Structure 1
Amino acid sequence: MTKARKIWIIFILGTLSAFGPLSLDMYASSLPDMQKQLHTTASLAQLTITTCLIGLAIGQIFIGPLSDKIGRRIPTLISLIVFALSSFLIALAPNIDWLICLRFLQGLAGSVGIVTSKAMCSDLFRGKEFARYYYMLMAVNSIFPVFAPTIGGFFLLFGNWRLIFIALGVIGVLLLIAVFFFKETLAKELAVKAKQRIPLKEILTNKVFISFTLVSGFMTGALYAYIAGSSFMLQDIFGMSAFSYSLLYAFNGIGQVIFTWLGAKLTQKFKEQKVLLWGIEVAILAAIVLILTTWLPHQLRYVIIPLFLIVSLVGIGNPLGSALAIEQEREVAGTASAIIGLLQNLLGAFISPLVGLFGQKTYLPMAIIIFLCEFIALLWWQLGTKKHYNNHVK
């Protein structure tokens, strides 16, 4: 492949891997608007995030092994059709019950692209080239949190939350057209081997793989707490408009892009596991600062920096932890990617409603949940990842 062709493929794969951010970030600023229009509660509004995350999680665990057996292209095409249709149906949802159910279906469809995009990257590239292009893929992925909330806020200026899902349906159609011209990337010999047996037990007992997966998962869990709680925090407590909030959300997304690039640069000079540890430690400090700001007067300047760091450092933790995990199980990259995505989305599904259940009058619950996610990631590093990785490479 030419370099231009590789970059085009990575852009499409990065977009496919971004179904999580696309389904959540474009929608985040519209939660208060949707809550009022459908005459529902904040907790039920946040449940539309939870059901989407559950769909993203469940779908990945099934599509991973399937894509290792039959290939990546056909499942991806079918999922894009379902994603587009479900998005258009959500735009017509008459009440919160329909919205919750359709968000689950949308999550199921979106889960396929998340798995197959990373597996295709693993199929196409090896060694240092894989690490470089995987970081590029995740850099494309991290661009969407920058533009998605701004686009969502823009739609709210001219309409309501339903326009956001019409846009998601259009994105699904465009990706369907692009992927239609892709060739199958799974090597025939690997497909034959996977048809014989998917070593799920061996993957789940690979301590190095599980350790990297959990560290990455809990760092991403902090991001889900931010997604679920920041719109209520910044709009209801700090008085920001939906559009202003989307701009700040985009600003934090830019930080995630920058830190993804920074992580790639740091891993060229330092050990990957060390860079991952630095990211966790700085994120913990930012979470502690955010907790302390709850006792200060509610002024935006106090929370901008800790929120920026919490979101940005996911740009180091997520791609680096995931890449290190997938490297342990390259022969069944689809299944490995599915397990990583399953854990991350289950954590997100569990964390999102917790933020709302503990109240909307203060953002202390959100700050504490973020801190706990980062602290658990650190514990897994100290108690698991460091020891198992060192033993593995000896």
Structure 2
Amino acid sequence: MSTTTNDATRKTTAPGKVRYALILGGLSAFAPLSVDMYLPALPGMANDLHAGNAVLQVTLTMFIVGLALGQLVAGPLSDALGRRKPLIVGLVLYAVSSVLCALSPSAGALVGARVLEALGAAAGIVIARAIVRDLFSGVAMTRFFSMLMLVSGLGPVLAPVVGGQLLRITPWRGVFVVLAVIGVALLIAVSFALPEPLPPDQRRPARLGRTLRTYGELLADRSFLGYALSAALVFAALFTYISASSFVLQEVYGLSPQEFSFVFGANGLGIVFAGQLNARLVGRFAERRLLAASLIMAMLGGLGVLLAAVFALPLPALLVPLLFLVSSMGMVTPNASSLAMAEQPHRAGSASALLGVLQFLIGGLATPLVGIGGESTAVPMGVVMAGFATTALILFATMTRPTLRAEPA
């Protein structure tokens, strides 16, 4: 086998893997950072911008739509141009649009700036996942995805805590200034510490017809689609919690912004622990079995939230199943991503894009579905979370099949 950048990175040292994990984990954390950090500020933003809670929740939905559309473009471009160029452009766009969010004079302007911010963030998310596929395969890929959960999982842990504390010393606009600084820091890291992992001879021309044909082939792959939809539906259950919990926990259960941020962060910590547990278990147990167990965990968590909401149980009875559902992402994401991308080495960018698009488009349904039931009860949140999680398990069981996974040499 000829020596390429790809071959070299497969043999990278432990410090090199840590560097990759920090940079790629930071890029993967764009979504939780960009959403969770400003959740504690939503009620205050509604007052400052003279907009209702429903209008402010649209900023969440449009951010998710922007993430989906951005990945559709960034994924194929990274297959054609290499990973670094589209990634750097995306990081510049993210930093600039975060500043525009901070300067927004109205809710409408904020929505527009959030869409641009999402387009920039999309490049980081989709290309980070494609780079993992460039560097690793088999169990090694699943383990590295689990390692990323240690870094990217800190996003939901730290973001709401940092956001809640920032609100003590700055208006909500300061949160977006911090996001701009994070974007600049990642831009510097990528520019100087992330070599190009995709050799020129492995790139695919970015033609519209070829791109559409590639997406069509992926959508026709029943097993790929089953894994992608399972992960997307669990993410949608998680996003239901993200979009509704600020109002449910603060206005229904009476938590302060700081108390909410710590509860939210504790749930995010569960993602980190589950991801590291998955890294230890993979290799001993098949990724498919681990994915099945985590999907069952998500379903039981969703049903627990629904029961707690319907019977108006005390706050701890709601928080425990929430922890189960949120933590399940630490196992669902690495296993589903690895299984879905295992057979896509030459179109990793497009496969990563489709994974992300399905995840964020289905996740974007969460906010309007929860909004239908109103904001005075936790029942709508419980219904939607339980429905998404249960459907994820059903699709996994009916659409995917066991496959032989070749181990890396």
With normalisation by structure 2, the TM-score equals 0.92
Structure 1 residues 279 and 127: CA distance shift in structure 2, 3 A: closer
SS in 2 for 1:313: helix
Write out aligned runs for 1:303-318 (5 A).
303-318=318-333
Deviations 1:266-298 (A, max 9, x none): 322222112111111122222222112124456
Residue equivalent to 1:78: 89
1:20 aligns with 2:31: yes
* Alpha-carbon contact 2:309-2:318 (below 8 Å) kept: no
- Which amino acid counterpart does residue 28 of structure 1 have in structure 2? L
Mapped to 2, the partners of 1:332 and 1:318 lie a distance apart of 19
Residue equivalent to 2:8: none
Q: Which runs of 5+ in 1 are unaligned?
A: none
Deviations 1:339-390 (A, max 9, x none): 00000110111212321232011010010000010111011022212xx446
Mapped to 1, the partners of 2:312 and 2:354 lie a distance apart of 42
* Alpha-carbon contact 2:94-2:180 (below 8 Å) kept: yes
Mapped to 2, the partners of 1:276 and 1:326 lie a distance apart of 14
Mapped to 1, the partners of 2:312 and 2:141 lie a distance apart of 47
Mapped to 1, the partners of 2:197 and 2:404 lie a distance apart of 33
Residue equivalent to 2:359: 344
Structure 1 residues 359 and 192: CA distance shift in structure 2, 3 A: closer
User: Which runs of at least 4 in structure 1 moved beyond 6 Å after TM superposition?
Assistant: 193-196
Write out aligned runs for 1:380-391 (5 A).
380-385=395-400, 388-389=401-402
Residue equivalent to 1:45: 56
With normalisation by structure 1, the TM-score equals 0.95
Structure 1 residues 392 and 272: CA distance shift in structure 2, 3 A: closer
Alignment size in residue pairs? 391
1:265 aligns with 2:280: yes
Mapped to 1, the partners of 2:302 and 2:153 lie a distance apart of 21
- Which amino acid counterpart does residue 150 of structure 2 have in structure 1? A
Equivalent of 2:74 in 57, 63, 70 = 63
* Alpha-carbon contact 2:101-2:113 (below 8 Å) kept: yes
Structure 1 residues 301 and 192: CA distance shift in structure 2, 3 A: closer
Mapped to 2, the partners of 1:249 and 1:331 lie a distance apart of 38
* Alpha-carbon contact 1:208-1:328 (below 8 Å) kept: no
Structure 1 residues 27 and 89: CA distance shift in structure 2, 3 A: same
Deviations 1:177-222 (A, max 9, x none): 1111132111222115777955333222111111110111101110
Deviations 1:87-129 (A, max 9, x none): 0111010110001111111111100000111111221223333
Equivalent of 1:152 in 153, 163, 176 = 163
Equivalent of 1:91 in 81, 84, 102 = 102
Equivalent of 2:199 in 187, 196, 216 = 187
RMSD across aligned positions (CA): 1.8
- Which amino acid counterpart does residue 341 of structure 1 have in structure 2? G
Deviations 1:296-350 (A, max 9, x none): 4563222120111111111111221111101121211111000000001101112
